Amino acid sequence: MELHLIGSRLQRLHRDRILHQRSDDRSQRGRRVDTNRRPRSGETVLARRKSPGEVKPDQGDLNIVNGSLKIESVSSRLYMSFQLTAELPRQILLYAMGPAGFIPASPGFSLREHRDMTTTTINYNTGSQSVVKGSPHSKLRKTHGLMNMFGWGILIIIGALVARHMKQLEPTWFYAHIALQTTGFLLGLIGIICGLVLENRTDANNVSKHKGLGITIFVMGILQVLALLARPDKDSKYRKYWNWYHHNVGRVMMILAISNIFYGIHLADAGSSWNGGYGFVVAVLASAAIGLEVIKFTRHISLEDRRRKRRRMLRTRLLWFTLGFSVTGASVAHLVWRDLYAERFAISSDMKEKFGALESRVAGLESAGHESPSPAQVISFSSHLYW
């Protein structure tokens, strides 16, 4: 049977391992080919051990058919082929590509985690095979990424949008906000635990920045939970400071979470599918946030415009009411004054005529030799004339 391993021509093939594992799981061996010299039959680089330090080069007993090992370069790709003699019909072959820019060195010849790997199970009697691509920690790595992605990178953001744009649905928005943020925090916590376990199992030495950002995000999440417990009343004078802290810490946490998720995808070399998928989700959330902000701003402008129109209408009505009241009051006052003045003027004229008649009569009596009337008689006569 002939197997082919494809890799970049610029990569040193002594970092490409082809592993052979016995069905009894007693040993695992591999071949190494160096492009700087002709390969030698029987040269091995990897055996299955519990730690990288136990891996020794040139130890293994793969049964390579003499003269079957070939290397060819076609279109900037190197093709390696060889033939194996297997005692058992069913064998497991592991194809692994080591890290770029790293060469195992003495005295330990320790190896780092593979960049890519594939497990193939072949039945030599039937010619059937099954291929499983991935690493022993692929499920843990995917769990770490998905939990953090859904927790910190999706649910937390949706919860923030609910709190900002659904406050007219009191108190539904508050319970929805709490439920989304709590679920996101718990999923993020599970993702962080998976990440710490993954780091311990793989001995990764290039995740310090990713880990530091993750811990920072986790601390901010804890501070947000504690802030909820210490939330002052709406009427408290400290509520505005609490709102400023809660809102801005949440915004910084979401920005760091999105950045760290993309950075983690880059470190895991997960490919364009993960970047494209999460990038699409972020684009949808960003579009929703922008759209809701525009609606809120438009609604605010419309509300202010309606308020200005209402205030202008009230001022106009008040002005007309004041003007009408003033005109009406002036008219009534004029009429009342005119009636009172006319009545007083009529009384005064009548009294003058009566007193004139009285004076004329008194004068006539005096000229006729009669006595002058007493003041009491004059007053009585005047009253008689008046009434």
CA distances from 106 to 110, 111, 152 (A): 8, 11, 43
| Residue 202 CB-half CA count within 13 A | 21
Beta strand pairing call for 28-31 and 70-74: unpaired
Topology (CATH) of 138-270: Four Helix Bundle (Hemerythrin (Met), subunit A) (1.20.120)
The type of residue at 319 is L
Give the model confidence (pLDDT) of 41-70 as tens digits: 334 343 344 455 555 665 666 677 887 888
What pLDDT does residue 184 have? 95
Q: What is the pTM assigned to this prediction?
A: 0.53
CA-nearest of 17, 39, 199, 223 to 115 is 17
What pLDDT does residue 29 have? 39
Query: How many whole angstroms separate alpha carbon 31 and alpha carbon 45?
Result: 6
| Residue 87 CB-half CA count within 13 A | 7
Q: Would you say 100 and 113 are in contact if contact means Cβ atoms under 8 Å apart? A: no
Packing angle of the helix pair 208-229, 172-202 (nearest 10 deg) = 150
Six token digits for residue 88: 């058992």
State CA 295 to chain mean position distance: 18
CA distances from 107 to 14, 75, 162, 345 (A): 17, 37, 59, 135
Domain ranges of the chain: 2-133, 138-270
Bridge partners of residue 86, in order along the sequence: none
What pLDDT does residue 371 have? 55
Six token digits for residue 235: 């009427």
What pLDDT does residue 256 have? 94
Q: Which DSSP string do the residues of 49-80 spell out, in sequence order? A: -SSGGG--TT-----BPTT--EEEEETTEEEE
Sites in the chain below the pLDDT cut of 70: 1-62, 86-95, 108-117, 124-125, 127, 130-136, 303-304, 321, 332, 334-359, 361-362, 364-387
